[in-house]
Amino acid sequence: MAMNKNTVLSWATWIMIFVGLGLIALGAFRYDDVAGWGFAAVGGGFFCIAWVFNALKGRV
């Protein structure tokens, strides 16, 4: 299977989504103090970066 730029961006998008979901889950279920808000904020940042990767597909 040949991996071109679009395939790499697709894989990166899915990995970023899964990591973002994991960080939000850690913030929601594991940490009850201020650290939970930090984990959730970083998870949201991962979603933003995944959105950029998805938007770059076909343009790079």
Domain ranges of the chain: 5-56
d(CA 43, CA 29): 14
Q: What are 8-58's pLDDT values in tens digits? A: 999 999 999 999 999 999 999 999 889 999 999 999 999 999 999 999 988
Contact between 42 and 28 (Cβ < 8 Å): no
Give the model's pLDDT for residue 3: 87
User: Which pTM does this prediction carry?
Assistant: 0.84
Give the model's pLDDT for residue 32: 85
Virtual torsion, Cα 35, 37, 40, 46, nearest 10 deg:
-80
More confident residue, 60 or 25: 25
Give the model's pLDDT for residue 2: 83
H/E segment holding residue 36: helix 34-56
